[in-house]
Structure 1
Amino acid sequence: MRNVPAGITSALEAGAASLCHVWLIERNDGIVLSFTDHDADITFQGVVCIAATGLTKGAAEQALGAEGSGAVSGILSDGRLTSADVEAGLYDEAGIREYVIDWTAPDQFVLMSSGTLGRIEARGGTSEGASFVAHVEGAAAKLNRIIGRRFTHLCDAVLGDDRCGLSAPSGVCDKRYRTCREAYGNAHNFRGFPDLPGEDFLTLYPRAGDALDGASRRQGSGR
């Protein structure tokens, strides 16, 4: 439940046109960029929010918040965000917060939502006035991230890396156990689980002639 200051409540009840949106983007190096959809610059929390450079309001409401992720599009016209910084990854995992404030009294505000920039893509060849697409993740999106190894039929090593163990290999590997064994003779370093039962395991039943010796039936696609 949001704590709405009395000033904001009064403005909403009176239908006053003194409210606007502010977005603060804080990079991991501590640099903060701030934008507003107001028609004049606003100083908010000690940071100057540049006018008319805010994110698209409807998309921002959909993408930010506690659940899921989405894309927020808009135009950045003040030139502070450059293609070089975007390509260098300076905005990856940056925090983003959206506020509604009273532009006549910026100390009256409500935090509407917060999230993380998964990445931001510059569109257009110039830093001045370049458009961008920001992929924003809500708090719940972190629960969907893969941490550690995954149990799959295929190898999760990169051909030629330390876990693979091959030095200067040539060719392309499809990450299957058979390819690793027969094409590269590297089965002992295979980093997948080729005998992991697949969905077809659920439909198996004893059949005449089957060898019931406990050996793998090579289920799934890893073999």
Structure 2
Amino acid sequence: MADDAGLGEALSGELTTLAICWRVVRGDGVALGFTTHDGSLRIGGMVYANAPGIAPSAIVSSDAIEVDTMDIAGALSADAITAVDLALGRYDGAEVEVFMVDWQHPDGGRQVLARGWLGTVEAGSGPDAGFTASLRGPTAMLSATRVESYSPECRAELGDWRCRVGMRGRSRRAFVAASDGEGAQVVGVDAAAAALFGDARLRVLSGPTAGLERRIVAVVGDGLRFDEPMAVAAGEAVELFEGCDKRFATCTARFGNGGNFRGEPHVPGGDVLTRFGGF
């Protein structure tokens, strides 16, 4: 349905002047606009750049309770969606709205065609390679698991509203000493200090990857290993946030927070029969 009568009249005419636009808002707050029109359009104070290499697939919507999906494919543009940003995952999970306007009167109303979030965005190889992404509609959230399963490990994240451990003094800023893309050594973080950052987070503060975070999944000597590859260079600033291995013993001994432990450490697991020899 059109937002107002202006676009409705444009749709009912014998000759249409329509353009498809889409607004992309990344997780870091950066918003980008694109259009299939042969020139840029200003809509609601935002410029939608001409992107002839980007085109959405057929959009299907219905009243049924089902997952609405759409594919978006296109060519990489140096001043819009870059291969570097795609490789860093900056567009994964970005919020997208696809709509149609009359390009002669772009502020005269719009017809929303689809809303949702991008799945994993993949880029091809080579200078002329493109990218592909799937758009997951709001009904896709209905297929997600919302009920937690019991586990001996804590299901909260250190410092969140369920854990309630104060994070003041549990982070530090430093500089990268060396990195191989799979992990990094940080200035001032020796083997003893690195032990505090197992199952922790590292946020990049400077350089091309500024704003990105990686979870630290292992500590090898004084080296921190990432859950996903990330290119950081020596001299770039980072911020380290302490982590927790989510065990009840750690929660009580290190943090004194056993009352907020969000797990079931004393519930027997599936191996209870093998541990006690059965009956």
TM-score bracket, normalised by the shorter chain, equals: 0.5 to 0.7
Whole-Å separation in 2 of the counterparts to 1:67 and 1:95: 19
Q: Alpha-carbon deviations, 1:1-22, whole Å to 9, x = none?
A: x344222111111132201110
Whole-Å separation in 1 of the counterparts to 2:43 and 2:71: 22
Whole-Å separation in 1 of the counterparts to 2:121 and 2:19: 24
Letter of the structure 2 residue corresponding to residue 110 of structure 1: Q
Of 70-79 and 32-41, the range deviating more from structure 2: 70-79
Structure 1 gaps, min length 5: 166-188, 196-215, 219-223
Instruction: Give the aligned partner of residue 73 of structure 2.
Output: 74
Letter of the structure 1 residue corresponding to residue 126 of structure 2: G
Structure with greater helix percent? 1
Q: Residue 116 of structure 1: SS of its match in structure 2?
A: strand
1:133–1:27 distance in 2 versus 1, CA, 3 Å:
same
Letter of the structure 2 residue corresponding to residue 112 of structure 1: L
Whether contact under 8 Å (2:57, 2:72) holds in the other structure is no
Q: For the pair shown, which has the larger CA radius of gyration, 1 or 2?
A: 1
Alpha-carbon offset, residue 39 of structure 1? 2.1
Q: Alpha-carbon deviations, 1:12-44, whole Å to 9, x = none?
A: 111322011101111122211211122222222
Whole-Å separation in 1 of the counterparts to 2:124 and 2:62: 21
Q: RMSD across aligned C-alpha pairs, in angstroms? A: 3.8
Structure 2 residue 118 is matched with structure 1 residue 117: yes
Whole-Å separation in 2 of the counterparts to 1:192 and 1:39: 64
TM superposition score normalised by structure 2: 0.49
Whether contact under 8 Å (1:151, 1:192) holds in the other structure is no
Q: Residue 107 of structure 1: SS of its match in structure 2?
A: coil
Structure with greater strand percent? 2
Alpha-carbon offset, residue 100 of structure 1? 0.6
Whole-Å separation in 1 of the counterparts to 2:268 and 2:104: 61
Whole-Å separation in 1 of the counterparts to 2:62 and 2:130: 19
Whole-Å separation in 1 of the counterparts to 2:268 and 2:19: 53
Whether contact under 8 Å (1:99, 1:111) holds in the other structure is yes
Whether contact under 8 Å (1:63, 1:72) holds in the other structure is no
Q: Alpha-carbon deviations, 1:63-87, whole Å to 9, x = none?
A: 8998415451321353221222112
Whole-Å separation in 2 of the counterparts to 1:18 and 1:37: 12
TM superposition score normalised by structure 1: 0.60
1:148–1:164 distance in 2 versus 1, CA, 3 Å:
farther
Letter of the structure 1 residue corresponding to residue 121 of structure 2: I
Alpha-carbon offset, residue 54 of structure 1? 3.4
